[in-house]
A and B are shown apart, each in its own frame.
Chain A
Amino acid sequence: MKKQVYAAALTTAMLGTLLAGCGGGGGTEGAGSNSGGTAGTAGGEKVTLKMMHLWPDGSNSAQNKLVKQIIDDYQAANPKVTIQTEVLENEQYKNKLKVLSASNNLPDVGFTWAAGFLEPYIKGNMFTPLDDLLKGDLNGKFVSGTTEAYAIDGKTYALPVELNIVPVYYNKEIFKKYNLTPPATLEELKTVIKTLTDNGVTPVALGGKDAWTSSFWYMYLAERIGGAGLLDKSIASGTFTDPGLIQAGRTMQELVDLKAFQKGFNGLSNDEAKSEFMNEKAAMYAMGTWEVPNYTTNPDVPQAFKDKIGFFKFPTVEGGKGTVNNWVGGPGVGLFVSEKSKVKEEAKKFVSYFVQKWGENSVTKAGIIPATKVDTAAVQLPPMFTELLSELNKADKVTLYVDVQMKPGASEEHHNLVQALAGKALTPEEFAKKQEEALKAGK
């Protein structure tokens, strides 16, 4: 009898904890959403904004500090607002964003990528349009062509903070040693490559395992041969039959045959390739302007190395339709406001503030080109930066990275195909045909 009582007591205790657990969880959740709701409507009370970003301290410490600074300033100016941040590394960030939106739990403010990446989130009604900000506070602040990448069906769903273009960096000292000058045409580039390989120097550092790096070369060749806008048109119409696209594939393979890229590039990551360039084993490296801090402001890189690095615009191709002032690039990440956010107006205000502050500070403090316009006369900048900014102002066109333009399925296939093209596992014709099939699949 005693034992039974004991057992019953145990049972109630266990059930009790179970129930308490559930009840407790439900209770706090309810309280949380309540306070958020009232704050949003009343406006005079405390507001908590949740924000997610992808610049962990360490790997992107400049950006990380800048975000912290902006948030501190905003909180100081708006004492009733508290901003909670969650920071994840790139790949994890993408995965978490997906999981959160599937469970309807997106943070109030966060970062997204443009075009193809954005589309599913818009179809799922996850982000709120920010056109009123663009017409109001932020009117005319952005470099033209940057916010468009975040627009779907005439509405803009995120505001970019960065703008990147892809120059070819080169090691002046290696060039000088072999009497080379930055090539202006493809033929000159080939001569440079031949001279370097003859002397046992790797001409170009390329991490083909991360296929987007090889894609830079393909994109430039396609635009130089087939003319500015060829890629945009081809992707928009879902055709990949233009002779310029096939010719670009052929030229890409010619460069591979010339041993332009480092040995075994298809098995090396971008980081590994980058270290070849940083260790001065390779003479050239085509990469986005996010690398510029390494050649200008980054205190971890020796000044002697920084002084050796210059850049040139991707060479033109004889008989090609493209000009030298057509760049490959595009906005990086942009800020979104969640459609389901309970404090949408506050979130929008913060986004507007963030974008402007970022624009003012990112060049000088973090060495990043913002998507908002920069007055180069007013700020003190490293020469390479000023040159790139003025190049950007002269640009005829900035072609948005094709893998960003395409929908996720076609984009992933593009990565595989570029890898195969560069590895000579596909002919340029097969490459074009398969790319078209992937575009037509509509995924």
Chain B
Amino acid sequence: MHKVMSNPKMIALYVLPSLLLILGIIYVPIILTGYYGLMQWDGVSPMTFIGLENYKTLLQDAAFGNSMLHSFLFAVLSTLSLSVYMLIALVLSGQIKGANLLRKIYLIPMLLSSVAIAQLWLKIYHPSSGILNSFLEALGVEETPDWLADPDIVLTALFVPILWQYAGFYILIYYAALKNIPSSLIEAARIDGANSLQIALRIKLPLAAEVIKVTVVLAVVGSLKYFDLIYVMTDGGPNGASEVMASYMYSKAFRSFDFGYASAIGFFLLIVCLVMTWGIRRLTATKDTIEYS
């Protein structure tokens, strides 16, 4: 059997089916998206080649600028919230009572589908019968906010459930990373007189650095292309106040029937994500890898 596996032709033969699938399902559509981005096309009638016109419009499109701003704001926010998740993971990985139960509590939102979460939070935010406003009214607030209808607060109102939704995911990753650190290291530090804070900052965090890098990339790229909860909860409204890049792309493609333009947005989004990933990896590149010994 070894002979078969070291035969280049055989390798090609075994790799080929999945390679074709990946090419066909992922890479070909990416190239096609780039190609459609150069067209004026409503998705039905014949397309006309207009070169980089869509991209020029994109740069001057105030609505797109806004949605991009919202996406970036969201990326920054979710990156910052990683520190909170790490803090929770540090606490959970220590010897506290009920850590197991707490971990499960944090993880449950992740098990719900986005649409279910959206429905849940729609109820919470309901302007007259939602629990949030009922609570505020009980406290004596007279003008309760219209969480999803007020352009000034709708973004914040949306980010809360999204960050809440993903908290469990990141906490789980961090928790696993921290649990992987050999306890001998921590015990040694403790014998040397280090307190919990010192152990966390000097030992646990540096050893989890690789994982943190990965989560930063995940958080940034995930935020930039975020779509589902926003689509269900506000559909980008009111008047684009909660539009992000992906929801704007959807609206251009399926509501305005501007497929060429939507493809240009999609391609642009891909490039932004690639650049951000590359940038983050560059910024956080370390030469010496830490090894447990």
**Measured between C-beta atoms, what is the minimum distance from B186 to chain A in Å?**
49
Q: Is the CB of B258 within 8 A of A443?
A: yes
Q: Is the CB of A420 within 8 A of B239?
A: yes
Q: Identify which of B3, B150, B235, B258 contacts A3 (C-beta below 8 A).
A: B3
Q: What are the residues of chain B within 8 A of A250 when measuring CB–CB?
A: none
Report A258-280 residues with CB < 8 Å from chain B CB.
Answer: 262-268, 272
Q: Identify which of B126, B147, B238, B257 contacts A423 (C-beta below 8 A).
A: B238
Q: Is the CB of A266 within 8 A of B149?
A: yes
Q: Is the CB of A102 within 8 A of B235?
A: no
Q: What are the residues of chain A within 8 A of B237 when measuring CB–CB?
A: 209, 211, 266-267, 416, 419
Given known contacts A3-B4, A98-B43, A419 and B238 CB-to-CB distance under 8 angstroms:
yes
The answer to the question of B45 belonging to the interface, with a C-beta cut-off of 8 Å to chain A, is: yes
Q: What are the residues of chain A within 8 A of B148 when measuring CB–CB?
A: 209, 264, 266-268
Q: Counting chain B CB atoms within 10 Å of each CB, which of A11, A265, A423 scores highest?
A: A423
Q: Which residue of A lies closest to B46 (CB)?
A: A124
A121 to B239, CA, bound (A): 28
Q: Which residue of A lies closest to B154 (CB)?
A: A267
Q: Identify which of A4, A124, A208 contacts B45 (C-beta below 8 A).
A: A124
Q: Identify which of B10, B125, B149, B257 contacts A408 (C-beta below 8 A).
A: B257
Q: What are the residues of chain A within 8 A of B198 when measuring CB–CB?
A: none
Q: Which residue of A lies closest to B152 (CB)?
A: A425
Q: Identify which of A11, A102, A126, A412 contacts B256 (C-beta below 8 A).
A: A412
Q: Which residue of B lies closest to A407 (CB)?
A: B257
**Measured between C-beta atoms, what is the minimum distance from B43 to chain A in Å?**
5
Given known contacts A120-B42, A268-B127, A416 and B239 CB-to-CB distance under 8 angstroms:
yes
Q: Is the CB of B234 within 8 A of A264?
A: no
Given known contacts A209-B234, A443-B256, A263 and B128 CB-to-CB distance under 8 angstroms:
yes
A272 to B154, CA, bound (A): 18
Q: Identify which of B43, B45, B127 contacts A264 (C-beta below 8 A).
A: B127
**Measured between C-beta atoms, what is the minimum distance from A392 to chain B in Å?**
30
Given known contacts A120-B43, A412-B251, A423 and B10 CB-to-CB distance under 8 angstroms:
no
Q: Is the CB of B256 within 8 A of A423?
A: no
**Measured between C-beta atoms, what is the minimum distance from A226 to chain B in Å?**
24
Q: Is the CB of B257 within 8 A of A409?
A: yes
Q: Is the CB of A416 within 8 A of B42?
A: no
The answer to the question of A94 belonging to the interface, with a C-beta cut-off of 8 Å to chain B, is: yes
The answer to the question of B146 belonging to the interface, with a C-beta cut-off of 8 Å to chain A, is: yes
Q: Is the CB of B147 within 8 A of A11?
A: no
The answer to the question of B282 belonging to the interface, with a C-beta cut-off of 8 Å to chain A, is: no
Q: Is the CB of A7 within 8 A of B128?
A: no
A407 to B44, CA, bound (A): 14
Given known contacts A211-B237, A416-B240, A267 and B256 CB-to-CB distance under 8 angstroms:
no
The answer to the question of A123 belonging to the interface, with a C-beta cut-off of 8 Å to chain B, is: yes
Q: Identify which of B7, B43, B239, B255 contacts A425 (C-beta below 8 A).
A: B239
**Measured between C-beta atoms, what is the minimum distance from B282 to chain A in Å?**
38
Q: What are the residues of chain B within 8 A of A14 when measuring CB–CB?
A: 13, 17
The answer to the question of B222 belonging to the interface, with a C-beta cut-off of 8 Å to chain A, is: no
Q: Is the CB of B254 within 8 A of A94?
A: yes
Q: Which residue of A lies closest to B251 (CB)?
A: A412
Q: What are the residues of chain A within 8 A of B241 when measuring CB–CB?
A: 425
The answer to the question of A82 belonging to the interface, with a C-beta cut-off of 8 Å to chain B, is: no
The answer to the question of A337 belonging to the interface, with a C-beta cut-off of 8 Å to chain B, is: no
A202 to B7, CA, bound (A): 77
Q: What are the residues of chain A within 8 A of B125 when measuring CB–CB?
A: 267
Report B147-201 residues with CB < 8 Å from chain A CB.
Answer: 147-151, 154
Given known contacts A98-B44, A124-B46, A267-B148, A419 and B239 CB-to-CB distance under 8 angstroms:
yes
A120 to B258, CA, bound (A): 11
Q: Is the CB of A267 within 8 A of B238?
A: yes
Q: What are the residues of chain B within 8 A of A364 when measuring CB–CB?
A: none
Q: What are the residues of chain B within 8 A of A125 when measuring CB–CB?
A: 45
The answer to the question of B111 belonging to the interface, with a C-beta cut-off of 8 Å to chain A, is: no
Given known contacts A208-B238, A409-B257, A412-B251, A264 and B42 CB-to-CB distance under 8 angstroms:
no
The answer to the question of B283 belonging to the interface, with a C-beta cut-off of 8 Å to chain A, is: no
Q: What are the residues of chain A within 8 A of B150 when measuring CB–CB?
A: 267, 423
A98 to B262, CA, bound (A): 14
The answer to the question of A199 belonging to the interface, with a C-beta cut-off of 8 Å to chain B, is: no
Given known contacts A263-B146, A423-B149, A126 and B4 CB-to-CB distance under 8 angstroms:
no
Q: What are the residues of chain B within 8 A of A202 when measuring CB–CB?
A: 128
**Measured between C-beta atoms, what is the minimum distance from B79 to chain A in Å?**
27
Q: What are the residues of chain B within 8 A of A425 when measuring CB–CB?
A: 151, 238-239, 241
Q: Which residue of A lies closest to B130 (CB)?
A: A264
Q: What are the residues of chain B within 8 A of A7 when measuring CB–CB?
A: 4, 7, 10
Report A4-50 residues with CB < 8 Å from chain B CB.
Answer: 4, 6-7, 11, 14
The answer to the question of A398 belonging to the interface, with a C-beta cut-off of 8 Å to chain B, is: no
**Measured between C-beta atoms, what is the minimum distance from B173 to chain A in Å?**
33
Q: Is the CB of A120 within 8 A of B45?
A: yes
Q: Which residue of A lies closest to B4 (CB)?
A: A7
The answer to the question of B1 belonging to the interface, with a C-beta cut-off of 8 Å to chain A, is: yes
Q: Which residue of B lies closest to A417 (CB)?
A: B239
**Measured between C-beta atoms, what is the minimum distance from A20 to chain B in Å?**
14
**Measured between C-beta atoms, what is the minimum distance from A85 to chain B in Å?**
22
Q: Is the CB of A423 within 8 A of B128?
A: no
Report B117-152 residues with CB < 8 Å from chain A CB.
Answer: 122, 125-128, 146-151
Q: Counting chain B CB atoms within 10 Å of each CB, which of A101, A209, A266, A268 scores highest?
A: A266
Shortest Cβ-Cβ A-B pairs, 7 listed: A264-B127, A267-B148, A267-B149, A264-B146, A124-B45, A266-B149, A420-B239
Q: Which residues of A come within 8 Å of B, CB atoms?
A: 3-4, 6-7, 11, 14, 94-95, 98, 101-102, 120-121, 123-126, 202, 208-209, 211, 262-268, 272, 408-409, 411-413, 415-417, 419-420, 423, 425-426, 443
Given contacts A126-B44, A267-B150, 5 further A-B contacts (CB under 8 A): A123-B46, A411-B255, A416-B237, A416-B239, A425-B239
Can you list 24 A-B pairs, Cβ within 8 angstroms, ordered by A? A3-B4, A7-B10, A14-B13, A98-B257, A101-B43, A102-B44, A120-B44, A120-B257, A121-B45, A209-B238, A211-B237, A264-B149, A267-B127, A267-B147, A267-B150, A267-B237, A413-B256, A416-B239, A417-B239, A419-B238, A420-B239, A423-B149, A423-B239, A425-B241
